[in-house]
Amino acid sequence: MVSLSSRLSSLLAGPAALLAFAGCASAPATSRHTATVATPSAWHAPADSTASTSAAPASAELARWWQQFDDPALSALVATALQSSPDLRTAVSRVTESRARYASERTALATSLSASVSGSGSATRSRATSLTTRTESYSAGLDASWELDLFGRERLAVAATRADLAETEENLRNTQASLAAEVATALVTFRSTAAQIALVEQSLASQTETAQIAQWREQAGLASALDTQQALSALEQARASLPTLHATLDQTRNQLALLCGRAPGGVDALLVTTAPVPHARAAIAVGIPADTLRQRPDVRAAEQALTAAAARTRSAERSRFPSLALSGSIGLEALSARTLRTPDQALATVLGNLTAPIFDAGKIRQSINIQSALEEQAFVAYESAVLTALSDVENALVSTRRQQESLVVLERAVAAAQSAATLAAQQYAAGQSDLLTVLEAQRTLLSVEQQRATVTAGLATAQIQLYKALGGGWETTSS
């Protein structure tokens, strides 16, 4: 059985047209659109310690970006998804379909040959003589037809389907890149949720101890029942968040199985709840905007779609011109099948047919208008793809920087909150502080720890989105 990775390698082995960006992203030469999208020479968003704009990303690093997170489970999950994902298998099938369409369209440029063999017989009986007369005849022929592509209409149609094929190949690459990023993001969500659960359970242990102290103080007459009930209320409020977190954990587990083409539970062996949230171990090389536009498969797909639309517009315009079709046939006739090699007659015909549209009630003109409108739509989609690519990288750079800044601040906040919670608990046990101070300190500690966990996951997600925005994750199907 042929693996999906080998099919991908075969399907994507052909040359891919790269955009030649030099300060601007322009429409392909086959399109009449000359407007360009201004491409900046550098990114506006400042980089931080997790990203570097001083150098272009290495192709191998960008293709297998998940290895930069140094997480075996992440690499295994991405590899499994790229082997078994239903979405990826569908994209592979679309490339196969597009290749067949391209091969079918190319047959319009070739000569058509057909062969025929026929035989007939008849019997006639005369009433006057009671004699029966039998006659037989056999024939064989070879017919050929060829429509000369005088003005290039068929060649343009073939060029359009060739661009369609290139577009589906780029869409396959885009599916690979999106799938890898989606798997990584889901794993970050899973690990972050598991960390949130661990934080709540850790807080529950502290709050349970506080509630126990409140009960002891009440029994000793050092505090009222109000303190005990307040402590128990805070404990149960914290416990109430666990079911929602566990639901998110289970749903994310199922999402990862689905992305990997497995039934629920199919990848549980790779999901360890105590593992930390993955993050890039080294600075991410970003390079310049032109590098990204060359690498992004969605931009390349939009370029090919515009190329196909432009070719179909030119092909529709050629419909106004005459067309010339040639046909010929060679035939043999004999009175018996055995004598077809030495026939009684041999026939040959050649026919040329030149046709030109004179009046069609505007059908050709409207067909050209339709294709021109589709070309305009493809051009707008191309511009949108370029702008989206630029915006994706800018947003990812901003997110990584701001998340890193927040994480530094939250690390200090967690350290202070831990100290405050410890001091408040000690003072309450010694009768030097009231219960509300302890409860507030514990709530603050849980809150800032959860914020830190959220921001840690946000930073990892931003790094993943940055790799995806740079166009990485599609050159290889293995980790």
Tens digit of pLDDT for each residue in 325-372? 877 787 667 666 666 566 666 777 777 777 888 887 888 899 999 999
pLDDT over 80 at 120, yes or no: no
The pLDDT confidence band at residue 5, using thresholds 50, 70 and 90, is low
Q: Which domains does the chain have, with CATH numbers?
A: 4-108+153-319+362-469 (1.20.1600.10), 111-150+321-355 (2.20.200.10)
pLDDT tens readout for residues 35-70: 567 788 888 876 565 565 556 667 778 889 999 999
392 confidence band (pLDDT: 50, 70, 90):
very high
Distance CA(88)–CA(301), nearest Å, equals 16
Q: What amino acid is encoded at 375 in this protein?
A: E
For residue 353 the two structure tokens come to 């047919």
- Quickly list DSSP for 284-340: EE---HHHHHHH-HHHHHHHHHHHHHHHHHHHHHHTTS-EEEEEEEEEEEESSGGGT
Assessment of whether the complete model's pTM goes beyond 0.95: no
Beta-sheet pairing, 132-148 with 112-125: antiparallel
pLDDT tens per residue across span 411-447: 999 999 999 999 998 988 888 888 888 888 989 999 9
Residues in the chain: 479
Give the torsion sign (CA, 272, 277, 282, 285).
positive
d(CA 464, CA 208): 39
> Poorest-confidence range of 5-9, 34-38, 271-275?
5-9
Q: Is the pLDDT of residue 16 over 90?
A: no
pLDDT for 197: 95
Mean predicted confidence (pLDDT) in 283-295? 85
426 contacts 221 by C-beta, under 8 angstroms? no
